[in-house]
Each structure stands twice: as C-alpha cells, then as structure tokens.
Amino acid sequence: MRRLLLAGLVAFTVLPAAAFDASTAPSASAPLDLETIMASPDWIGHAVENPYWSVDGRNLYYTLKRDGDTVRDLYRVSAAGGAGAKLDPAAMAQAEGPAVYDRSHTHAAFILHGDVFLVDLASGRRVQVTRSPQPESSPQFSADGRTLQFRDGNDWYGYDLASGISSPAAILKFADDPQAKKPDALERRQLELFDTLREMKADRDAQHAQQQALAGADAGRAPQPFWLGDKLKAVDTALSPDGRWMLVIAAPAHPDDGKAPGVIHYVTDSGYTEVQKARTYVGRNDPAPQSLLLLDLAAHKVWPLATDTLPGIKDDPLKAIRDRTVAALEKAGHGDEAKALKAPAVRPVTIANEGSGGGIAWSDDGHQAAVQLRAIDNKDRWIASVDFAKHALVAQDRLHDAAWINWSFNDFGWLKDGRTLWYLSEADGWSRLYLKPLDGKAKALTGSGKFEVSQPRLSTDGQWFYLLANKQAPYSYDVYRVSTGDGSLTRVTQYEGVDGYTLSPDGNQLAVLHSAPYLLSQLAVQDAAGGAPRELTDTMKKAYATRPWIQPQFVEVPSTHGAGVVYAKYYGPADGTGAPASRPAVIFVHGAGYLQDVSKQETYYVREQMFQNLLVQQGYVVLDLDYRGSAGYGRDWRTAIYRNMGHPELEDLLDGKAWLVKHHGVDPRRVGIYGGSYGGFMAEMALLRAPGEFAAGAALRPPADWVTYNHEYTSNILNDPQLDPEAYKASSPIEYAKNLQDPLLIEHGLIDDNVLASDSIRLYQRFVELHKKNFWISLYPLERHDFKHADDWYDEYRRIDELFNTWVKQRPAD
C-alpha cells in the first residue's frame, strides 16, 4: 500500500541529473528506446510532495524537485484554485510550516528553518520564539493554552505567552548526582584527619542547600536537574501538555553494537580507496533493550515503569524452535552457543517509534498517557496507559502474532474525551481502527471485511475519523470517514489512487494527494464530507503525459496452492491474445517484499514501468504480481512467507506464468524474470529452486544470503540466525547455487550499504566453484541500493534487454 513516506523514496524524485532541456524531450509519437527510458526523469515531471495547510487555511504549501538537481523548492497555492507559485528566498522567510493549534483555536505554532514561530490567529501577529543554530521540533500547546512547548533534541522547553520567557521544562543529566555520592572508607578517613577538608565539604554542602532553597522558593529560576545515572542515555522524551509529567525512553549508554562489515569505495574524490562502516548483520547483536522513566516535574521525582506486568511478556513464543536448536547445538558439542540461546525471564522491548511501531501519546489535557511497546523478538505489541498514582503501566491491548508484528498499522492516540484510546490493529487479520475506553472493551470502529485502513486522522471536533482504505478493491485506495459514534464508514474521495491527505485547520476541507499509473502525485482540495475536487497542480511534462502508454490491466491469477487469487498487472498489446505458445513473456518482481505494486496509484517503479512498455513494443507480454508477502492483502498474506522466504512467492510467480500461457498465448519455454532488491532475490530463487521454468533471469541488488542482511527486517520474518538457522538455510539463494542451469545476470552497486555487494560476489564465487555456465555480474562503483545515475540505469537495463533478447525472445520454440 502507498504511504506518504514512500513518496520520498521513489527513485525518480531523488535522481541528480543534468538540467532538463525541453528541446531534447522525446516525441510522444516516437518509438520508445532505452536512452529515453533511462535518461534523467526530469522529462517526466515531478511529484507533488509534503503538502500542508497555511495557518489560516486559505493556502497550501508543497514542495517540488527542481530540474537538474535534488533541491526541493517550496510552492504556495490558493486552496480556492489558481496557479502555484514558487517561493524565492525572501518569500521563504515569510512562509509558514505545518501548524499546530491550541485547544481554543486562538494561537498556532509551527517550525520554519528549524526555529519556532507563534501566531495570534485573531490579529495575525507572528512572533519568532527561537533563533538558534540547532533545530527545534515538536511544538505543542499546554492544556491551558498559556505555554508553547517545544523540544531541542530530547530537551523540552516552555515559552510563556504572557511574559515571552522561555525556560527548560526539565534538565536531564545522564550522570550520577555528585551530591548523592557517599564517601568511601579512604575519603571518610581523610575527613576525620583534616579539619580543612571538613570545612571545605561543609561549605559545599551549605552552598548546595542554599541553591536548593532558592530554587524551591523562586519559580523564576531554572529547574534543578534530574540525575539519571551514567548507565543510560535518552532515546526519546515526551512532555505532558499540562507540564506536570515527562516520560523518558532510555537505552543502555554503551551497548555493544556488534561487528559491522565495510563497504569499499573504489571511485572517490580523494583518489584513494575508502572504507565505510555499514550496518551489522542480523542476530550479531539484537537491538538494545529500552526502558521507560516517569518524571514528576512538580515533585522532582523519578520512577522506572516496569514492563514485567505486561500480559505474555514472560512467555517464550519461540520455545519450540529454541528447544530444537539448543538440542542440535548440544549434540554437536557447541554447549556455549546453546547456553547463549537461553530464553530471557522477561522479554526485552523497544518503545521509541522508529517507523515500525512504538512511541508515546498524551491526551489533550495531559492527564493520560499511552505507551506502545514492541517485543524485540517481534511477536508482541502492547499498548499501555500510565497509572500516575501507582507509577505503573496498565495494559490496554496486547497484539500477538506467531509470525511477526507488522511494522505498519501501529498508529494510536486519544479521543477528545481524554479517556478513550484509538489504535490500529491486525487483531482479526486485517488492519482495523479500534476504540477502547480505559475501563472498557475494545470495539472495531471500521467494521469487518477484507480491506485495510491506514493513516487515521481525528477531525478537529472529534466527531469523525478520516482514513485511507482499499475497501472497493485491494488495488483501489480512497479516503473514507467514519463517525466516532456509530461507526458508519463513508467513502469521501473517488480517485481510486489516493496517496495521502491532510485536513484543513477548520476540519471542513481535505487536501488530497492522488496519482495513477502514469500520473505522479498531484494535489487537489475537496469538502471533507465529499463532493467534487478542485485540482490545484499539474506538474507533468507534455512529452510524458501525452504519450500513449499501455494501461495495465488489473487481473486475478488463480492460485493452485490454496492462496485464492494473486492480483497482478498485465501489460500486453491491444489485441490481447495470440496464437498458442507463440509469445515471449517477462515477469517483473517488485522489491521490498512487503510492498504493493498492483494498485491504481503511481508505481514506485517508474522506469521499470516504461521498460515494460518497451518490452511489449518488442513483442513480449509482461506480468507484475503482488505475490504472497506483499502489502495490501491482510495479515495472512503478509505472513505466508514466515520462516520460508522465496517459497510461497515462487509458487505465485509460477501460477502467473501458467496464467500467461493459458490466456495470452505465451510460449512456456520463453519466459524471463527480473526484479530488484527483494525482486532480485526472487529472480535468483526462481532460477535456483525451479530450474528450467524460466529461460533467463536478471537479479538487481539481490540479497543472496539472509544471514548477512540487517536485523530490523530479517529477524521479523526469519527470527535470529543463531536461533533459527533452518529458516535461513531454506530462504537463502546461496544454499541452492548448485541448481543453476539457466542464464543469470546479477547487477549490484558496489557501495550499496543496504544489501551489500558482497552478497552477489559471494554467490558469484559459489557459481565459479561449482563450474557453472552462463552467469554474469555487473558492478557499479558509484551506486548504492537505489541507483542515482542515468548512465548506470542505462547500462544495467541494456544488459537486461540483451539478456532477454538472446535467451528468451530468440529461444527457438519446440
């Protein structure tokens, strides 16, 4: 499913290139060629990015990439319509940032160029609150509206609206309190022996007592520091809107991160080979466990919030696998390794929101806090409230998954009543929006059915939730709204390709980002209750927009493996069918694993989609499937690959091939396969686990051995390699290298610090040792995981095109 963050990752939005020259744009009627497809994508146009409302709700801001470089310019457009205007540096200084509002809607605040600004909504008066070299963030108003709170790193400050004075909400010191230090035996003897030392100590004590007394009696002084010890460091902090409490997410100060491999840069500015430290391998050191501290800012006290009362946190969900692996290690004489796999008495957790769940949410009045915690073994997610009187966590919801907790659908917060939680959960197998009173039972607000909801936003008046859903079809995304009272779900937009949206300050309008297979994200505005939209942008270039692109057909491929249907996009000629066994075909495999490419939104794979058009022009048909493990189809589809990556997906790809043969006259002996990242992994698995099924394959930046990939992604699906070695053996292409018999092209960026180039080089070495034929590797010295340079794009796809032309298209039929 498309999410706002994905738009920032799309390759065509981040590629540096020479400035776009309209005179060199390809003709819309000219045949496609690789030079055009793989050139700088500036000739296509640019996606509208990061839209937000002006403080008064009359205008919208958004960013666009410049032609010729990666700089983003800020634009402003009237919500009533008209042309957007690019802001020059002088206008930028008077621009606004995404705003937050106080509860009475009399003031707004925003961050601009890293500084905090305050706006009086009645007069329009604007005050710059900070001017500092370090960036501030997270503005919020106190519950009573008298203070504007904001943070600098993990330190919080309050700006008093009446006096104009800023002061720290709390001072955190990750060191031992020097006043709390007890003298040891030698120090006590020194004090006994020397009068002068006793006098000096008495003076220090008197000075400290005086400062404590002054601080307690004078609210105008900075608060006394909290001494939190030198064994911890702050990962995140959250200040309550009433200013009374602070929650601190902490981690060990000096964790062992494990040994990291190096990425070698051969082509450098300096002319010398340089080595970059990369991320560690999965399981070589688990993420550092996190803990939670509750700070009472009024009483100046600290309490740790224990997690050992969370339901199921003392269970071992991996017991069966653990017992089997421990027994095997002990039998093999590896007792030390077996001992290291002992289950913890209390499972460690992470709390900070780093893109896969976690974090802290305060009610508007600051009287309630909710914390989301995730087990490091990936099997449980808890949402707990905080009992401030007992200084304890109170479990409100536990989501358990025998495979892994999704890194999506973890949004949560409070209704306006400050006593009811809302959250997303896959508890019934599909992402639903739930409501739960603190002392009551949870209910699914968005009902039932085979669809997912995401991006929930509570309206200003608290009466509605807006959200994104694929209720019409798995590949069709629109904004819906649901009443917080009766739970009736109503479709608001009619695009079928909504990427994201944002509510206007008064809650009456929606700014909608929408796209289509050949339309990059554009901005429109419509009434929040529904109705006709007003289109505000058109950032596509004529040469691209007027070309007669092949519209993908959304098809359902029957599964012969009990998976129901596999949704796919089919690219083919207008006649639709051909003589039996007459056509060559290519199957494209999307990357990331958990990504949805079969949708009516713009594709992440803009260049690849143009390449599919070129392949059809050359006589192929192309199929792009959302195999099992893809996003958009519920929990069971997502977790079908648990401990078995590359197996259910291959079954789906083979079903796709059979569908092409049956319905589109494809020669089963002339089918190629290609993809990048996870798609490259699947291209390798297809050739190595189903030899003879595909005439040739191209694997771009593929993980060939999951043991060397990162922890955050891999441990979710395969557990740790020390604990579950069989899952890694079953799921890694390098384990099947002996089966290679069909031509394989491997392409990899040498400075890829996501999937390391060593994966491909190690697999290549295995082929060498096995005396295999017809395998090649192409390495790109200046490319990371997402290729940036047009020359490299052209070279890798020239090789793919030649591979398919030689081994697929020209392969003689029986």
The 10s digit of each residue's pLDDT in 252-280 is: 999 988 899 999 999 999 999 999 999 99
Residue 175: per-residue pLDDT = 95
pLDDT-based confidence at 356, cuts 50/70/90?
A: confident
Question: Could you say which DSSP state residue 540 is in?
Answer: B
Condensed to tens digits (0 to 9), the pLDDT of residues 362-408 reads 999 999 999 999 999 999 999 999 999 999 999 999 999 999 999 99
Condensed to tens digits (0 to 9), the pLDDT of residues 416-441 reads 999 999 999 999 999 999 999 999 99
Check if the beta carbon of residue 288 is closer than 8 Å to that of residue 255: yes
Residue 214: per-residue pLDDT = 85
Give the residue-averaged pLDDT of 504-525. Answer: 98
Residue 19: per-residue pLDDT = 44
Residue 21: per-residue pLDDT = 56
Q: Is the confidence at residue 154, as pLDDT, over 60?
A: yes
Check if the beta carbon of residue 295 is closer than 8 Å to that of residue 155: no
Residue 578: per-residue pLDDT = 60
H/E segment holding residue 146: none
Residue 70: per-residue pLDDT = 94
Half-sphere exposure of 612 (CA within 13 A, CB side): 30
Residue 606: per-residue pLDDT = 98
Residue 751: per-residue pLDDT = 98
Residue 154: burial class (beta carbons within 10 Å; 0-12, 13-18, 19+): middle
CA distances to 37, 288, 356, 362, 383 from 375, in Å: 45, 12, 12, 22, 12
Residue 704: per-residue pLDDT = 98
Residue 16: per-residue pLDDT = 34
Give the residue-averaged pLDDT of 19-33. Answer: 68
Task: Give me the torsion for CA of 157, 158, 159, 160, rounded to 10°.
Answer: -160
CA distances to 51, 293, 523, 751 from 60, in Å: 7, 40, 9, 39
Q: Is the confidence at residue 9, as pLDDT, over 60?
A: no
567 sits in the region (left: phi over 0; alpha: psi -120 to 50; else beta) called beta
H/E segment holding residue 603: none
Number of other CB atoms surrounding residue 736 within 10 Å: 19
Question: Could you say which DSSP state residue 805 is in?
Answer: I
Q: Is the confidence at residue 93, as pLDDT, over 90?
A: yes
Between CA 482 and CA 453 the distance in angstroms is 11
- Calculate what percentage of the chain has a pLDDT beyond 90: 90
Between CA 715 and CA 374 the distance in angstroms is 13
Give the residue-averaged pLDDT of 232-254. Answer: 97
H/E segment holding residue 335: helix 335-340
Both tokens of residue 774? 């017809």
Condensed to tens digits (0 to 9), the pLDDT of residues 697-750 reads 999 999 999 999 999 999 999 999 999 999 999 999 999 999 999 999 999 999
Residue 814: per-residue pLDDT = 53
Residue 812: per-residue pLDDT = 66
Condensed to tens digits (0 to 9), the pLDDT of residues 161-183 reads 999 999 999 999 999 998 888 89
Residue 1: per-residue pLDDT = 41
Between CA 807 and CA 696 the distance in angstroms is 6
Prediction pTM value = 0.93
Residue 766: per-residue pLDDT = 98
Between CA 175 and CA 30 the distance in angstroms is 69
Between CA 179 and CA 183 the distance in angstroms is 10
Both tokens of residue 311? 């339901």
Condensed to tens digits (0 to 9), the pLDDT of residues 445-484 reads 999 999 999 999 999 999 999 999 999 999 999 999 999 9
Check if the beta carbon of residue 493 is closer than 8 Å to that of residue 533: yes
Give the residue-averaged pLDDT of 540-549. Answer: 97
Residue 165: burial class (beta carbons within 10 Å; 0-12, 13-18, 19+): exposed
Residue 341: per-residue pLDDT = 96
Residue 777: per-residue pLDDT = 98
Residue 220: per-residue pLDDT = 80
Q: Classify 794 as helix, strand or coil.
A: helix
Between CA 508 and CA 525 the distance in angstroms is 10
Residue 79: per-residue pLDDT = 98
Check if the beta carbon of residue 295 is closer than 8 Å to that of residue 245: yes
Task: Give me the torsion for CA of 9, 12, 13, 16, rounded to 10°.
Answer: 110
Mean pLDDT of the residues in the chain: 94
Condensed to tens digits (0 to 9), the pLDDT of residues 628-650 reads 999 999 999 999 999 999 999 99
Q: What is the 3-state secondary structure (H, E, C) of 21-88?
A: CHHHCCCCCCCCCHHHHCCCHHHCECCCEEEEECCCCCEEEEEEECCCCCCEEEEEEECCCCCCEECC
Residue 286: per-residue pLDDT = 84
